[in-house]
C-alpha cells in the first residue's frame, strides 16, 4: 500500500521538531519576549512533553507516530489569544500532568500514590482557575469505568490529593489576616454559580471560530475511533473513550457556563489532539489525505487570524 502525504508526515521523525519550531515562531510573533510570557511558555512546553509521554507510554497509535504531541502544539498555537493567561497555562499543565499520572493507575485498585498525585496536580491547577474542579466527577468516572482503579483507598487518596495544595497554601491565607476569608470566598465563588443563566454574548467571533474547528476535529476523531476501536488494545480503547467522555462533558459545560471558555478550550485541546492524531495516522485514502491538508490549512488560517486579532 503506497503511503500518502498524511502517512509520511504522521510517521516522520521530523514532524515533531518541525511542529516545535513552528510553535516557537508563533510564540515569538505573538509577543513571547516583549510581553515576558516565560511562565506561560514553560507551562506550554511541559504540557507538550506530557502529551508526548502519554502517547509513548500508552502506545495510543498502533504505528510509530508523533502526531499526538504535534497536533497538540499546532492546535494550541491556534489559540493565540490565550497565550497571555498565566492562570490558564498553569491549569492546563496541571491537567496534562494529571492525565499522564492517572493512567499509571490502570487496573490497580491499590495505586494510592499515583491517584494522590493525579488529584494533587489537578487541584494545584485549580488554585489558579477554581472552575477546573468541575472536571472532578469526570476523573472519578474515568477511574471507575475506564481505568478500573476506583476503590475506597484510591478514593480517599484522591481527596487527600485534592486538599493538599490548599493546605500548603494555608500559611499564605493566614498571613493575609482578616482578608483571608474574603480571599477564599472569592476564589470558590465561581463554583457556586452553576445554575446561573448562560450568557453567550460574551463569546467573540474568534473564540467561536476556534471552538468550531476543535469541535469538528473532535467529531471526526471520535467517530473514526468508535468505528475502528476493535483494532486497538483494551487499554487504548479505554483511554480514548475517556478522552471522548471528557470532550463531550467539556462541550456541555461550555453550553451551561460559556464564561468557562478559556478553561474548556485548554482541556479540549488536550483530549482532542490524540483523537485527531489517531485518525490521520491510521487512515490511508485519497479522501483522508485531502482532509488532512484541509485540516492543516484550516489550523494555519485560524492561527493567522487569531495572531492578527491579538496584535
The pLDDT of residue 173 is above 80: no
pLDDT tens profile 251-262: 999 998 888 899
Mean pLDDT (whole number) for 220-230: 93
Higher pLDDT, 25 or 185: 25
For residue 207 the three cell numbers come to 473564540
Q: Give residues with Cβ within 8 angstroms of 94, minimum separation 6.
A: 121, 122, 123, 124, 125, 126, 132
The owner of cell 492561527 is 303
Tell me which residue of 81, 89, 67, 92 sits closest to 295, measured CA to CA.
67
Of all residues in the chain, what percent carry a pLDDT higher than 90?
67
Confidence at residue 185, expressed as pLDDT on a 0 to 100 scale: 62
Band (pLDDT 50/70/90 cuts) for residue 166 is confident
Band (pLDDT 50/70/90 cuts) for residue 116 is very high
Which of 173-187, 197-211, 250-264 has the lowest average pLDDT?
A: 173-187
The pLDDT of residue 18 is above 60: yes
Higher pLDDT, 134 or 184: 134
The pLDDT of residue 1 is above 60: no
The pLDDT of residue 180 is above 80: no
Mean pLDDT (whole number) for 225-253: 93
The pLDDT of residue 204 is above 70: yes
Confidence at residue 202, expressed as pLDDT on a 0 to 100 scale: 82
pLDDT tens profile 283-300: 988 999 999 999 999 999
Confidence at residue 251, expressed as pLDDT on a 0 to 100 scale: 95
Confidence at residue 128, expressed as pLDDT on a 0 to 100 scale: 80
Amino acid at each position: 500500500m503506497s503511503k500518502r502525504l498524511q502517512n509520511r508526515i504522521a510517521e516522520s521523525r521530523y514532524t515533531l521538531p518541525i511542529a516545535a519550531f513552528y510553535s516557537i515562531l508563533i510564540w515569538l510573533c505573538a509577543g513571547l519576549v516583549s510581553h515576558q510570557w516565560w511562565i506561560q511558555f514553560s507551562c506550554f512546553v511541559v504540557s507538550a512533553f506530557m502529551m508526548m509521554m502519554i502517547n509513548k507510554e500508552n502506545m495510543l497509535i498502533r504505528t510509530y507516530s508523533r502526531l499526538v504531541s504535534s497536533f497538540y502544539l499546532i492546535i494550541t498555537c491556534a489559540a493565540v489569544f490565550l497565550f497571555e493567561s498565566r492562570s490558564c497555562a498553569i491549569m492546563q499543565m496541571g491537567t496534562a500532568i494529571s492525565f499522564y499520572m492517572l493512567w499509571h493507575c490502570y487496573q490497580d485498585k491499590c495505586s494510592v500514590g499515583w491517584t494522590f498525585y493525579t488529584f494533587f496536580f489537578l487541584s494545584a491547577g485549580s488554585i489558579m482557575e477554581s472552575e477546573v474542579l468541575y472536571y472532578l466527577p469526570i476523573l472519578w468516572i474515568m477511574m471507575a469505568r475506564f481505568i478500573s482503579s476506583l476503590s475506597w483507598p484510591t478514593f480517599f487518596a484522591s481527596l487527600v490529593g485534592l486538599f493538599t495544595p490548599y493546605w500548603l497554601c494555608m500559611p499564605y491565607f493566614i498571613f493575609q489576616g482578616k482578608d483571608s476569608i474574603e480571599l477564599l470566598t472569592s476564589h470558590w465563588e465561581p463554583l457556586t454559580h452553576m445554575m446561573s443563566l448562560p450568557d453567550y454574548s460574551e463569546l467573540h467571533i474568534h473564540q467561536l471560530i476556534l471552538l468550531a474547528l476543535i469541535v469538528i476535529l473532535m467529531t471526526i476523531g471520535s467517530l473514526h475511533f468508535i468505528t475502528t476501536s476493535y483494532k486497538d488494545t483494551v487499554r487504548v480503547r479505554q483511554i480514548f473513550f475517556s478522552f471522548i467522555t471528557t470532550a463531550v462533558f467539556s462541550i456541555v459545560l461550555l453550553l451551561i457556563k460559556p464564561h468557562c471558555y478559556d478553561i474548556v478550550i485548554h482541556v479540549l485541546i488536550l483530549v482532542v489532539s490524540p483523537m485527531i492524531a489517531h485518525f490521520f495516522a491510521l487512515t490511508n485514502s485519497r479522501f483522508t489525505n485531502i482532509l488532512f491538508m484541509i485540516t492543516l490549512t484550516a489550523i494555519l488560517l485560524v492561527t493567522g487570524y487569531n495572531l492578527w486579532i491579538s496584535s
